Structure 1
Amino acid sequence: MENTLLIALSRQTTLRREMTSVANNIANMNTQAYKRESMMFDDYLVRSDGGERIMGDKLMFVRDVAQYRDLSEGKFDETGNPLDVAIHGEGYFVVDTPEGNRYTRNGHFQLNSNGVLVNTDGHPVLTEDGDQIQTTPGDTRFEISRNGEIHTDAGPVGKLGIVQFDNPQELEKVSSTLMKSDAAGVQVENPDVHQGKLEMSNVEPIIEMTRMIEVHRAYNRAKSMIDKEDERIRKANTLITGQ
């Protein structure tokens, strides 16, 4: 196949995946603690027929190699709910799931029917010692200090497990805000916890809409290139075969 067609097709393929990433960001712009995602690309240069000249053109193949997350902190929304918790700075809450420990920055917690603190999926939130956070029916007070220590009417319950990783980009996403890792996280020594607040998504809707328009236009340019190249090849074949 002609290099021009290969280049245009490689560009269209990566743009389709970029559009999927942008659409996912927009869909989760109101999801607590969601982190904006983008694609990473590799460009491969091939010298064109005119490449021997000083300003010779270069043909460029494009390949998407990975997806990365923008780990910047989202804005805090003050809810006043004592079971809502936000982490300022590095760190992830630890939750216990049937598949093992999972990690999240979404601190929208609640108490289940047994008085255990759980996340929105019903998975128990763990302390730094790996225990569940248990309350009693008579508890009317649920306080979390800035360092993550939990107190109820019965006294201290434990300290929230908040862990960090050497390379958070290596965390594998299993849902919009839930991550898993083969390596165990390291407990944050001095976490900065804010009770009654939630970290919101760090997606900027205007930026994502702008990206969507740019990707759409780039895709149409690549399509136009394919159409023109197809027309050129058909004309060349007609001249050669005389048909």
Structure 2
Amino acid sequence: MDIGSVVLLGNEMALRRRVDVIANNIANLNTTGFKREQTMFATAIRAMDNATDPSHRPVFQVLDHGVAPDMRDGPFQQTGNPLDIAIVGQGYFGVVSADGMLGHTRAGAIRISDDYFLETIGGRLADADGRPIQVPPEATARVAILPDGTVMAGTEQVGRVGVWTGSVRTIDPRGNTVMTIGDAVALPPNSVRLAVGGLEGSNVSAVVESTALIEAQRAYQSSQRMSDGIGDLQRRMIERLGRSQF
């Protein structure tokens, strides 16, 4: 395969990845706490020894550095449910899955489980030590979460919601808006700020993503046409070379 075809193939693979990411963003337009994902591409220049020869000039290649979340806050959507909470600013709730693994999420739709743990769709809500928060059976109707993360059952404090932070480069999505963060650390209690009585909506803009999807699809189609043109040119050259030998 010639250099031109290699470069175009790499470009098409990157554009396919971008289309997939944009489509996933659009699919999660109404997902609580979802963070828009963005592709991270870079251009690498491979220097050649003899730049005067057209076949040895520098080659531009696309490098795929993965996907990173856009951590801007989504809109706060008032629900009136005192157990619905949203993080103000950076950070993630800790959730403990059925297998005991600690994950992280921005989705703060909290409910009380049958065994009296606070839980989200991704698992049991955790405190700053990664332990699930449980409330007294007799006080389930009087549970409240305060803006500083304190969990009250009537007049008794029964826990404090943990909020965690970490590098976006160590995030590994697990599904249901839950992810693991390789270098996650719990914020000190005085740094925790919650909005109570509502949920954080997705920070995806339908207009922005739809426009980006159209642009990526057009770029992919253009790259494919160039690839087809190179293929046609190579076939004609081979045909002419074959005729010249007879």
> TM-score, normalised on structure 2?
0.88
Q: For residue 16 of structure 1, what is the aligned residue in structure 2?
A: 16
Q: How far did residue 138 of structure 1 move?
A: 4.6
The alignment partner of 1:41 has SS state of strand
Per the TM alignment, residue 152 of structure 1 is displaced from its structure 2 partner at its CA by 1.9
Distance 1:138 1:146 in 2: 20
Report the Cα offset of residue 52 of structure 1: 4.7
Distance 1:111 1:174, change over 3 A: same
Q: What residue identity is the alignment partner of 1:23? A: A
The answer on whether the counterparts of 1:116 and 1:135 sit within 8 Å (CA) in structure 2 is: no
| Aligned-residue offset at 1:83 | 1.3
Task: State the partner residue of 2:102.
Answer: 101
- Residues 58-67 or 90-99, more deviating: 58-67
What is the CA–CA distance in structure 2 between the aligned matches of 1:187 and 1:66, rounded to whole Å?
27
Q: Which amino acid in structure 1 is aligned with residue 21 of structure 2?
A: S
Matches within 5 A, 1:138-153: 138-153=139-154
1:150–1:185 distance in 2 versus 1, CA, 3 Å: same
Larger fraction in helix: 2
Q: Deviations over 1:47-97 (max 9, x none)?
A: 79xx659xxx96422231221111111111000111111110122111111
Deviation at 1:179, TM superposition (A): 1.4
1:1-243 → structure 2 map (5 Å cutoff): 1-45=1-45, 52=52, 59-97=59-97, 98-121=99-122, 123-129=123-129, 130-153=131-154, 155-165=156-166, 167-190=167-190, 191-242=192-243
More displaced, 79-88 or 35-44? 35-44
The structure-2 alpha-carbon separation of the partners of 1:17 and 1:99, relative to structure 1 and needing over 3 Å to count, comes to farther
Question: RMSD in angstroms over aligned alpha carbons?
Answer: 2.3
Which residue identity is paired with 1:24?
N
Q: Unmatched 5+ residue regions in structure 2?
A: none
Secondary structure in structure 2 of the residue aligned to 1:113: coil
In 2 relative to 1, CA 65–157 (structure 1 residues): closer, same or farther, beyond 3 Å?
A: same
Give how far 1:24 is off.
Answer: 0.6
Aligned with 2:224: secondary structure?
Answer: helix
Q: 1: distance between equivalents of 2:107 and 2:7?
A: 41
Measure, in 1, the Cα distance between the counterparts of 2:151 and 2:79: 18
* Paired residue secondary structure (1:173): strand
Q: In the alignment, is the contact (CA less than 8 A) between 1:172 and 1:180 conserved in 2?
A: yes
Structure 1 114/41 Cα, relative in aligned 2: closer, same or farther at 3 Å? same
How big is the shift at 1:187? 2.6
Structure 1 segments unaligned to the other structure (5+ residues): none
Question: What letter is aligned with 2:65?
Answer: V
CA distance in 1, matches of 2:194, 2:234: 64
C-alpha displacement of 1:99 = 4.5
